[in-house]
Amino acid sequence: MPNDEAQTENEPILDQRLIDAVKAIIDKGSCAVSKPVREGFTTSCVIACKERNERLLILAPTSRILKETVSNAAAGNIRIPGNIECPLIKESVRSNEILAKLPLFLPNCDECNASDWCDVREIHRAKDFLTVSLTYAKLEALMVSVGPTASEIRRKISTADVVFLDESHQLSLPNSVMVKISQTLNVPSKYRSLQNVYRDWVTFCKYNSDFEYYLKEHAKDGYSSQNLSIPITNPNALTYERQKKAWGQLRQIAEEKTMADEDILSMRDIIIILSATELTIGFISAAPNEEAIYFMTGQSREYRTLKEFLTKRVFHAKHLYVSGTLFEPHPGYFSELSGKEVKNVLFPDIRGTIKKLTLIPDRWKLSSRNFDEKFPEIVETIKMIAAKEKQPIYLIAPNRKKAKRIRIRLEKERLSDIFVDYYRSDFSMGVERSERVCISLGMAETPVNSCDALARGETDEERWIDSRRLRTQGGQSIA
């Protein structure tokens, strides 16, 4: 078992009742834990595992959660950074931001003069660990990477006794990669591997054009009242070698700036789409003038790599799915991921956190269709609240676009003590906020057919109902 002597300084002190409650949950085995927000579950779990001398692996959706919440809770925590934190990669991204949005493969660490102190290498230098943390994205990258570096990290994290899956509601409805079936690009001729991938894309679109016609015709009958998605297979999914060459050439294009950033990101998503064997083609309408047919993937890729890790590498460990807004897209979902029974449990509100929360709802419902109409009223209400409260305010908007619009308007109004954010940003999940007043503008927005591909049912009507249920549940869990 790990030596815990290194984890003694600056140890957070919490109510022992919380720690004992976490221990009781761990004793039950693998669990899906619904908890009150801000109750201190993460810190309590770190201390509970330390007292039990058990290795804890924490997975989270954002690096900010690891850097702030987990690091504050776990003195001596080993954080496995994303590749973007490599000193060599960081320098190239600083001068060309588009590179941060592409897969980044580590250079040869043995040839880098920073390898003795670099955070990326900390897990390699450590002989053992008590708490180790990484993002879901980093885990996915490790699971599909080859070579001794990734293999050694996989070996070490697979010795965990407890796996803590933070913000697990994110796993229930992950973001999907989507590309319009009509998407066309101009790939420079000298990048032959990438051109071959693009030719495959054109062929794939033509092969599935009948579905495009079918979905468009049915959408005329009202896209909000029916499920408009069709599962399809991709028998010629890109091999790992083809993916590797394509990613390398796309990074070259980004470095040489021989394609527009928007086209580079479209090509990125095309590579992801063509790398999947199971896809969905569906009609999506974000707004009346933003209707199109898309190829979609998302859950299959993330679900597959996480399930492989949980069932084949840490099956022996206890899996804790934890969230303040936990839900499953269908019964037994977390048990499917773990490959074994996952019990549903409630973490008690021992400190009365929920009682300290005051909610004041408005009397009308905000939607994407009435946002423009209500915008002046929204701004006046924000000004009124700010004048009354006279303290910092955290404001969260339905999406990034609306957040930007509100931020610009509040700057004109000289309301500088309001932090404007949006749902699913890395500031909105799992990290501490100093503001004690929050203004929430509606719910998180997703297109009306965004969950069609995940819906289940024997008939079209059952799948339509399930799609709407998932969309509503997903919006509420983010809020």
Residue 70: pLDDT over 50: yes
Task: Return the ∠ at Cα 296 (arms to 327 and 471), rounded to 5°.
Answer: 30
- What are the tens digits of pLDDT across the range 183-204? 999 999 999 999 999 999 999 9
**DSSP character string of 38-88:** TS-HHHHHHHHHHHTT--EEEEES-HHIIIIIIHHH-TT-EE---GGGSHH
- Pair (313, 359) in one structural domain: no
Q: Are 35 and 161 found together in one domain?
A: yes
307 or 4: which leads in pLDDT: 307
Same domain, 21 and 169: yes
Q: Same domain, yes or no, for 143 and 51?
A: yes
Same domain, 151 and 252: no
Q: Does residue 3 lie within any of the structural domains? A: no
pLDDT in tens, 133-174: 999 989 988 887 777 888 889 999 999 999 999 999 889 887
Which residue among 346, 363, 381 closes a domain?
Answer: 346
Q: Assess if residue 1 is contained within a domain.
A: no
Residues 270 and 391 in one domain: no
In a domain, 455, yes or no: yes
In angstroms, rounded to a whole number, what is the distance separating the alpha carbons of residues 70 and 48?
14
**Does residue 4 fall inside a structural domain?**
no
pLDDT of 313 over the 60 cut: yes
User: What distances in angstroms separate CA 306 from CA 143, 163, 216, 382, one per listed residue?
Assistant: 8, 12, 35, 41
Q: For residue 381, what are its two tokens? A: 């209400």
Pairing of strands 318-323, 162-165: parallel
Residue 267 tokens, joined: 């090509």
Boundary residue ending a domain (286, 312, 346):
346
Interatomic CA distance for residues 75 and 131, integer angstroms: 9
The residue type of 65 is I
Averaged pLDDT for residues 211-225: 87
- Domain holding 229, by residue range, is 177-297
Distance CA(382)–CA(377), nearest Å, equals 9
Residue 10 lies in a domain: no
Q: Are 152 and 76 found together in one domain? A: yes
Does 179 have pLDDT greater than 50? Answer: yes
Considering the entire predicted model, what is its pTM? 0.80
Query: What span, in angstroms and rounded, lies between the C-alpha atoms of 274 and 237?
Result: 6
The predicted-structure confidence for 406-432, as pLDDT tens digits, reads as follows 999 999 999 989 999 988 787 777 777
Tokens of 53: 């001398």
CA distance 65 to 58: 10
Indicate whether 195 and 54 sit together in one domain: no
Residues 149 and 20 in one domain: yes
| Residue showing tokens 């991921």 | 337
**Which tokens in the block code for residue 175?**
């973001």
Statement: residue 106 has pLDDT above 80: no
Domain presence at residue 229: yes
Residue 477 pLDDT: 63
Q: CB neighbours of 394 closer than 8 A, spacing ≥ 6?
A: 418, 419, 421, 433, 435, 437, 438, 439
Tell me what pLDDT residue 300 has. 60
Domain count, the chain: 3
Residue 386 and residue 331 share a domain = no
Report pLDDT digits (tens) over 223-278.
778 888 888 999 999 998 898 899 999 999 999 999 999 999 999 999 999 998 88
Ranking 39-43, 108-112, 168-172, 314-318 by mean pLDDT, the lowest is: 108-112
Q: Is residue 5 part of a domain?
A: no
Residue 111 lies in a domain: yes
Percentage of the chain modeled with pLDDT above 70:
93
Is residue 112 domain-shared with residue 224, that is, in the same domain? no
Above 70 in pLDDT, residue 478? no
Average pLDDT for 353-367: 80
Tokens 């609306």: give the residue.
402
Q: Let me know whether 45 and 166 are in one domain.
A: yes
